[in-house]
Amino acid sequence: MSHPNDLRRLTLFQGCSEEQLATAARLLTTVDAAPGRRLMVQGDTARQFVIVEDGQVQVTHHVDSGNDLVVTLGADSFVGEVGLLDGVPCTATVVTTGDGARVHVANPGEFRQLLDIWPVASNLRSTADDRLAQNELVDAL
């Protein structure tokens, strides 16, 4: 279980009431992930949603042409929403870097319950749409 105070600082939860933060905290599990831990693999079934509270993750979207898109995300970012929202395999491989990362994790059932929290659902859908569009552009190169 995560703590509401940890979530309150994250952009994804802006606009949430205390009750909504408490609900989200019950749905999420806090994990201190060691450096190099693979959180998801492109092409695999989407199994989790990950919010980065502290540290960094490297996100690699591989394309057959070799023009891979590699992005480093830090605190206050999240990954895994595209596969869970759209029912598609993971669109990127995500690995912790540096000193590792403190993350909050939800399985598919917990993620669906997070979508019942309006501010969270709105933020997730907007980001997922942007990322899908970006992936399509990279795939076209």
pLDDT tens per residue, range 47-75: 999 999 999 999 998 888 887 888 999 99
Count CA atoms closer than 13 A to 137's CA, side-chain side.
7
On whether residue 74 sits in a domain, the answer given is yes
Distance CA 76, CA 9 (A): 8
Beta-carbon contacts of residue 26 (< 8 Å; ≥ 6 apart): 1
Q: What is the mean pLDDT of the chain?
A: 90
Domain span holding position 8: 4-134
Residue 140 inside a domain? The answer is no
Indicate which CATH number applies to the domain containing 22: 2.60.120.10
Give the E-state strand segments of the chain in sequence order: 29-33, 38-40, 49-61, 69-73, 77-79, 93-106
In a domain, 120, yes or no: yes
Handedness of CA 91, 68, 74, 76 (dihedral sign): negative
Structural domain count of the chain: 1
**pTM, full prediction:** 0.88
